[in-house]
Chain A
Amino acid sequence: MPRRSDLSSVLVIGSGPIVIGQAAEFDYSGTQACRVLRAEGLRVILVNSNPATIMTDPEIADATYVEPITTEMIEKIIAKERPDALLPTLGGQTALNAAINLHESGILDKYGVELIGANVEAIQSGEDRESFKGIVERIGGESARSRICHTLDECLAAAEALDYPVVVRPSFTMGGAGSGFAHDETELRRMAGQGLTLSPTTEVLLEESILGWKEYELELMRDVNDNVVVVCSIENLDPMGVHTGDSITVAPAMTLTDREYQELRDIGIAVIREVGVDTGGCNIQFAVHPTTGRIIVIEMNPRVSRSSALASKATGFPIAKIAAKLAVGYTLDEIPNDITRETPASFEPTLDYVVVKVPRFAFEKFPGADPTLTTTMKSVGEAMAIGRSFPEALQKAMRSLEKSGVGLTWEGEPGDKDELLRRAAVPTEHRLRQVQQALRAGATVEELHEATRIDPWFLDQMLRLEEAARVLAEAPKLDADLLREVKGLGFSDVQIGQITGKSEDVVRELRHALDIHPVYLTVDTCAAEFEARTPYLYSSYDEETEVPAGDKPKIIILGSGPNRIGQGVEFDYSCVHASFALSEAGYETVMVNCNPETVSTDYDTSDRLYFEPLTLEDVLEVVRAEQLSGTVAGVIVQLGGQTPLSLARRLKDAGVPIIGTSPEAIDLAEDRGAFGKVLADAGLPAPKYGTAYSFAEAKVVADEIGYPVMVRPSYVLGGRGMEIVYSEAMLADYIERNAEVSPEHPVLIDRFLDDAIEIDVDALYDGRDLYLGGVMEHIEEAGIHSGDSACTLPSITLGRDDIERIRYSTEAIARGTGVRGLINVQYALASGVLNVLEANPRASRTVPFVSKATAVPLAKAAARVMAGTTIAELREEGMLPAEGDGGDLPADAPVSVKEAVLPFNRFIDKEGEGVDTILGPEMRSTGEVMGLDTEFGSAYAKSQLAVNGSLPARGRVFVSVANRDKRSMIFPVKRLADLGFEILATEGTAVVLRRNGVHATVVRKHSEGSGPAGEPTIVQLIHAGGVDLIVNTPFGSAGQAGPRLDGYEIRTAAVVRGVPSVTTVQGLAAAVQAIEARVRGDIGVRSLQEHARTLTADRS
């Protein structure tokens, strides 16, 4: 069937900010879908609050709304755009929930919008556990025995019937939020209580434990003719009990016979039909008993998911793209397979390689959080690798994680076998390493299977690695045969060096002398049955290379690797833009990355894609392969964040042509002494600082600078390990906790500027001209990591002379360090002095936000500058505005607000309590949203809507602030009272308010306990749903009882109950403006395309 002719416009809902469980994979799928729909001649209207995405680039859709994904806002968009249809299956659970709300509130009917690619009944029966269970039963499958509960009493009774441990699963939550194992009644009370709260339908499911069973996933697609294909099978290395997003997963399934696999396939197809998924993708999960083969259907997602993004990358079958085509009427057999071009999409990919995905975690960012892996997803990113064998793929995947302490290593002693076995029994991010070390320590496959329930086949494959390592260690000489053999098992030069006592460089030289290099093979969907037309490549120590020759000059872009806090999708955005811009400029673009969630690893993005780890060894081999097949004009390292940047120096030493800012300039910006000289030469003030290699040195530096000081390790991203230190005792404590301090890892100590306005600048420099991309004013004061603080562009309080000083300073720094391309500078304006905090000669995480707020493609321009085009030429060409820049936006330019999204609701400590939510110098946010409107209040209101769902327009506000904040809180709180809010406060705060004429009801502190007449504490009030907004600025130091602990309890309760919580006075002022805007009710919607037209019109 051809495309439906009755559709001319489609609304696509994105997935909003990056959060745990819903990440960059939906940018990948949404971008694909929008492109496909536009190519089909449809007008595409997109709503997504996340600016750091390719899908919200103005050229991807016809009308792009970076607006909150709420029923209210989407209705405004529908009323304005009048789309014929709504496609909700490509934006994760967020989009699906939004679509259900729009349907249930009658908005879709009211405006005659047809839901395509899904129907509400299918969504509900797929997601509602009870009805899904019925479906599984009807098709002859089996579900885990379970009970649906709506109250705590029902939960307790059900658990008695099912026997502990039981699995607690709240309904309709994302990424399994709130689910886990309850081993006894105490645990059940806590988890079920939280689960009932988290579930929008106040519903949790309790089910029998299938802990330790084998876990599988199938990705399926169905078209309107009821043709169904299974795109990919995935087997989890971690058995049941660990969320699939947190598991190491392998494709294809490794330990099923055809009969067993076909049984899963039959069930999967029967389920997709019975659920009634109209068209599109769906994913279904199974548990298989390891010794009886009993199959249990766990769940299905009637939409594109994280796993489908992984399956697309693993097989070369673009699920989201095909889903979009199916939604507008095509059938699978009408859609060509992109990769072979000649065969249709109605087939099942077959793999002649093995794919391994490993999750990346960020527990170090949440001290106190329980690191045990459970059925609640906690990972923040993932890496995927492809190899011709499981060991090769596993080794590549593990080194793609770029995280010390979790990879496979043969350094040092393995440790005690029994201890390792004991620890490996509890799943954590360290488990695979523990398994490997246990094998080193002599553990058997049987012992490890007993401890971990990991399938013996996987363990034996790991034993292969250990046996090879032993042969290597005992070999008298590293000859070609042996080297080829261990390289075939995925051993890196670093690992071979560990085993043989050589440096990585020596191993590489030896290997090259023996002419041992990987070859590059094609991901072709068909195991070489047909010729592949799309160069999607991976390395293997195999027989013949498939890199096609090219005659255009090539530019290699190094991506950013697995997402982590501090290095997320924003960097992928810049890499993708560079690829687009350089391709347009006539280069052949070559992308290297290992993150399956991203747009950069879509085989459509660049002329060639190498799905490879971003280590020195792997990158050098890619460069070599590309040099053999053509001319490499340069390698770009400054767009992918710290990952490629940290390779720059060694790549250059190895003779690789780095374009853009030179490695020397990168080093200069990182070297405090040299950079200090740049500032001094230009006469730019900076906070006093020093570098220390020991506590003694640190103490001297801090005494000289004066407390408070900001301390951090050098060479970090995302403020890792950064703290504000108020006293010598705290400094000693810090140095002790950061034991890595050494000559290679000094500690940087800066004067901390209290009460400063923090300013973030992204700029372009070509050696002659500076283009100020944007000047962002932070809403929170200095001291909170820029990635976690809200900011506004244009700035709302800076004067023209401030901007000119910023322009002058930025140019001086760019010139002084030798930047060619992007530079990010952070300033603190304190007492009229513009202090330079730091400069990063690379793309920053704000580049996409700045690009959208100013309607200028900054990353594209940066790529062109790196390739040699001047800013003047780009202005002439039209890529940059002919006149002016992001520093001198028109006075009436709309205001954009960026707000961070924090993952606190994902983490609990060992006692099951929440982790503290206060912000600090260490970045902890996973994503961001943007609010765009004519003035600050409504723009900020939108940003809060997008993060929290809402700020209240009426109700009760609880206020408790530190003494230093009491003065600045009076006006905003008074304004809230005037707007009709009831004010609750702790005693001290209430006194101040009352003296200033604001009536405040005193509420008992948590530490005071409930009153004699049963008066509740504030924490109890929050839990009872009696508070609509919380204003609580932290005071007291960490670990201290009393006020600090009170604050912690309050903020934690706020997270659990989902009550908006403000933790700075600056944030409060902004929130009040936003609430005013909400009360006025005049918040409208505007597309980025309209926004760009406004700015262009204003400029000319």
Chain B
Amino acid sequence: MSEATGGPAILVLEDGRVFHGRSFGATGETFGEAVFNTGMTGYQETLTDPSYHRQIVVMTAPHIGNTGVNDDDPESGRIWVAGYVVREPARITSNWRAQRTLDEELRHQGVVGIALTGTRALTRHLRDKGAMRAAVSTTETDPRALLARVREQPSMAGSELAAEVSTRESYEVLPPEGVGARFHVAAVDLGIKAMTPQRLAERGCRVTVLPATATAEDILALDPDGVFFSNGPGDPATADGPVAAMRGVLDAGRPLFGICFGNQILGRALDLGTYKLTFGHRGVNQPVIDTRSGRVAITSQNHGFAVDAPLDAPFDTLYGRAEVSHVGLNDQVVEGLRLLDRPAFSVQFHPEAAAGPHDAAELFDAFVDLMSAQPASAVK
């Protein structure tokens, strides 16, 4: 049969559960934290989302690869997932924008994948037992030997990964033709997705993307109208550098917006705790309520950690009062923070979508509004 798959492959979880399947994409052996993503569309965006660095992503949607791969949809310059688990990899590509097959792309980028029948069983296991370390191998035939190696891997809790995925050099994203640059935004790349600066640029922002190592001085030296902290991989508890940088921005009173990891950084900057979710939120159907308007947005999410903050009422912080602006309706997780006395807010979900619904795109407008209300000159 001319299946898209190759020889035998195994997936081993750190608790000893083993799944047998067939090789898909590159051959070899890979390690990472096994997590599941429930999106039915957007595999290309998922693969290239830097937040998935060091994670083996299990797709719950069975048919993956049907629309192939194109050069327009990636969210970064490469595939970041450590390994890829699917049920039914496409044998052919069918989409007018497709340029090559997913299998070719995975091979080309050296990403080890596995096609296995029991993706639902695997998902249920991760849901019940939590995300855990895992390996996929097309070379090892003895699961016990692979398990021993899995247990030698570092766990996600305590991992500092942003610097590994961040840009080394700063670069600029300019507004599209016909849109004037009204604001200058400094965006700290902790694993930024390409769509984020684009959403800002569409709204008249010139975006300077800075490496994860950028300090408050580096940021303020650009004299930006607003500062953005991006999404990214790893445990926010380790992100002391970005936390310090954000505090410098807050001290300077510059409008600030954070997404995902950026939300966790804001939480830490406000001295709130962060914690690891059992299996996280990864998908494009997560309902989030705006606590002020009562409106619900269907959001794109990808986070394994969350901020611990009081949901019911505003609370005091180092930077004045703050409140939880958004709550996840599935499990009451904090999905957004807002300072009441300073121009700063952040969300745990992805308003830039890619993949996912565009319901929360207005948050970029809110950031632009903050910058309009407080021109940089006013606080200089």
On A, residues with C-beta under 8 Å from B are 225-227, 229-230, 233, 252-262, 265-266, 289-293, 331-333, 342-344, 346-354, 388-390, 445, 455-457, 460, 464, 467-468, 471, 488, 521, 526-531, 541-544
CA A230 to CA B287, docked complex, whole Å: 12
B120 & A543 in contact (Cβ 8 Å cutoff): yes
Interface class of chain A by DSSP = loop
A227 & B296 in contact (Cβ 8 Å cutoff): yes
B62 & A389 in contact (Cβ 8 Å cutoff): yes
Within 8 Å CB of B356, what residues of A? Answer: 258, 262
A354 & B357 in contact (Cβ 8 Å cutoff): no
Interface membership of B289, Cβ < 8 A? yes
Within 8 Å CB of B13, what residues of A? Answer: none
CA A866 to CA B331, docked complex, whole Å: 46
CA A445 to CA B296, docked complex, whole Å: 44
B67 & A255 in contact (Cβ 8 Å cutoff): yes
Within 8 Å CB of B286, what residues of A? Answer: 347
Q: Which of B91-99, B306-314, B317-325, B365-373 contacts A (4 or more CB under 8 A)?
A: B91-99
Within 8 Å CB of B354, what residues of A? Answer: 258-259
A347 & B38 in contact (Cβ 8 Å cutoff): no
Partner of A347, one of B97, B127, B298: B298
B66 & A521 in contact (Cβ 8 Å cutoff): no
A352 & B295 in contact (Cβ 8 Å cutoff): no
Within 8 Å CB of A290, what residues of B? Answer: 96
Taking the closest CB of chain A, its distance from the CB of B6, in whole angstroms, is 15
Taking the closest CB of chain A, its distance from the CB of B328, in whole angstroms, is 10
A350-B285 CB under 8 A given contacts A226-B295, A227-B296, A343-B330: yes
Interface membership of B61, Cβ < 8 A? yes
A347 & B123 in contact (Cβ 8 Å cutoff): no
Within 8 Å CB of A347, what residues of B? Answer: 285-287, 298, 329-330
Partner of B298, one of A258, A348, A471, A542: A348
A543-B90 CB under 8 A given contacts A262-B358, A457-B66: no
Interface membership of B355, Cβ < 8 A? yes
Q: Which of B40-48, B142-150, B185-193 contacts A (4 or more CB under 8 A)?
A: B40-48
CA A255 to CA B97, docked complex, whole Å: 11
A332-B67 CB under 8 A given contacts A347-B287, A464-B1, A528-B120: no
B330 & A350 in contact (Cβ 8 Å cutoff): no
CA A290 to CA B298, docked complex, whole Å: 28
A542 & B118 in contact (Cβ 8 Å cutoff): yes
A467-B95 CB under 8 A given contacts A225-B294, A226-B295, A521-B120: no
Q: Which residue of A lies closest to B72 (CB)?
A: A259
Taking the closest CB of chain B, its distance from the CB of A983, in whole angstroms, is 65
CA A343 to CA B88, docked complex, whole Å: 29
A389-B285 CB under 8 A given contacts A350-B40, A521-B120: no
Taking the closest CB of chain A, its distance from the CB of B285, in whole angstroms, is 4
B357 & A333 in contact (Cβ 8 Å cutoff): no
Within 8 Å CB of A229, what residues of B? Answer: 298
B127 & A529 in contact (Cβ 8 Å cutoff): yes
A349 & B285 in contact (Cβ 8 Å cutoff): yes
B73 & A257 in contact (Cβ 8 Å cutoff): yes
Interface membership of B283, Cβ < 8 A? yes
B95 & A257 in contact (Cβ 8 Å cutoff): yes
Interface membership of B63, Cβ < 8 A? yes
Q: A225-B296, A265-B358, A527-B38 are in contact. List 16 more A-B contacts (CB 8 A).
A: A259-B73, A260-B95, A266-B358, A331-B296, A333-B289, A344-B330, A347-B285, A350-B38, A350-B60, A456-B94, A464-B1, A529-B279, A542-B120, A542-B121, A543-B121, A544-B124
Within 8 Å CB of A464, what residues of B? Answer: 1, 3, 91
B118 & A543 in contact (Cβ 8 Å cutoff): yes
Within 8 Å CB of A254, what residues of B? Answer: 63, 66
Interface membership of B377, Cβ < 8 A? no
B329 & A256 in contact (Cβ 8 Å cutoff): no
A389 & B95 in contact (Cβ 8 Å cutoff): no
Q: Which residue of A lies closest to B289 (CB)?
A: A333
A255-B61 CB under 8 A given contacts A225-B294, A527-B123: no
Taking the closest CB of chain B, its distance from the CB of A446, in whole angstroms, is 11
* 29 A-B contacts (beta carbon < 8 Å): A226-B295, A252-B61, A255-B94, A256-B67, A257-B42, A257-B73, A258-B42, A259-B72, A293-B97, A332-B296, A344-B330, A346-B298, A347-B287, A348-B285, A350-B283, A352-B119, A354-B62, A354-B63, A460-B94, A464-B91, A467-B1, A526-B285, A527-B61, A528-B36, A529-B60, A542-B118, A543-B117, A543-B121, A544-B118
Taking the closest CB of chain A, its distance from the CB of B220, in whole angstroms, is 36
CA A292 to CA B45, docked complex, whole Å: 22
Q: Top 10 A-B pairs ranked by shortest CB distance? A: A543-B118, A258-B42, A527-B60, A258-B355, A457-B94, A258-B41, A543-B121, A348-B285, A352-B60, A527-B38
B335-375 vs A, CB cutoff 8 Å, 1 = contact: the mask equals 00000000000000000011111100000000000000000
Within 8 Å CB of B353, what residues of A? Answer: 262
Interface membership of B87, Cβ < 8 A? yes
A457-B92 CB under 8 A given contacts A255-B67, A352-B119: yes
Within 8 Å CB of A526, what residues of B? Answer: 38, 285
CA A62 to CA B112, docked complex, whole Å: 62
Taking the closest CB of chain A, its distance from the CB of B165, in whole angstroms, is 21
Q: Which residue of B lies closest to A489 (CB)?
A: B1
Taking the closest CB of chain A, its distance from the CB of B16, in whole angstroms, is 16
B97 & A257 in contact (Cβ 8 Å cutoff): yes
Q: Which residue of B lies closest to A449 (CB)?
A: B94
CA A476 to CA B170, docked complex, whole Å: 63
Within 8 Å CB of A352, what residues of B? Answer: 38, 60-62, 119-120, 123
CA A468 to CA B91, docked complex, whole Å: 14
A346-B92 CB under 8 A given contacts A258-B45, A544-B118: no
Taking the closest CB of chain A, its distance from the CB of B186, in whole angstroms, is 28
CA A255 to CA B330, docked complex, whole Å: 29
Most chain-B CB neighbours within 10 Å: which of A348, A353, A445, A531?
Answer: A348
CA A98 to CA B47, docked complex, whole Å: 52
CA A292 to CA B97, docked complex, whole Å: 9
CA A354 to CA B61, docked complex, whole Å: 9
Most chain-A CB neighbours within 10 Å: which of B45, B287, B354, B355?
Answer: B287
Taking the closest CB of chain A, its distance from the CB of B373, in whole angstroms, is 26
B95 & A256 in contact (Cβ 8 Å cutoff): yes
Taking the closest CB of chain A, its distance from the CB of B47, in whole angstroms, is 12
CA A488 to CA B44, docked complex, whole Å: 27
Taking the closest CB of chain A, its distance from the CB of B188, in whole angstroms, is 26
B93-120 vs A, CB cutoff 8 Å, 1 = contact: the mask equals 0111100000000000000000001111
CA A411 to CA B118, docked complex, whole Å: 32
CA A541 to CA B286, docked complex, whole Å: 30
Q: Which residue of A lies closest to B93 (CB)?
A: A457
Interface membership of B130, Cβ < 8 A? no
B127 & A528 in contact (Cβ 8 Å cutoff): yes
A460 & B92 in contact (Cβ 8 Å cutoff): yes
Within 8 Å CB of A353, what residues of B? Answer: 62
Within 8 Å CB of B331, what residues of A? Answer: 342-343
B357 & A265 in contact (Cβ 8 Å cutoff): yes
Within 8 Å CB of A291, what residues of B? Answer: 96
Partner of B96, one of A292, A349, A529: A292
Most chain-B CB neighbours within 10 Å: which of A226, A257, A346, A467?
Answer: A257
Partner of A455, one of B42, B94, B97, B355: B94
Within 8 Å CB of B96, what residues of A? Answer: 289-293
Within 8 Å CB of B28, what residues of A? Answer: none
Taking the closest CB of chain A, its distance from the CB of B281, in whole angstroms, is 9
CA A288 to CA B36, docked complex, whole Å: 31
Taking the closest CB of chain B, its distance from the CB of A347, in whole angstroms, is 4
CA A561 to CA B285, docked complex, whole Å: 33
A255 & B287 in contact (Cβ 8 Å cutoff): no
State which residues 286-305 of B face A: CB under 8 Å.
286-287, 289, 294-296, 298
Within 8 Å CB of A266, what residues of B? Answer: 358
A389 & B88 in contact (Cβ 8 Å cutoff): yes
Taking the closest CB of chain B, its distance from the CB of A847, in whole angstroms, is 40
Within 8 Å CB of B88, what residues of A? Answer: 388-390
Q: Which residue of B lies closest to A457 (CB)?
A: B94
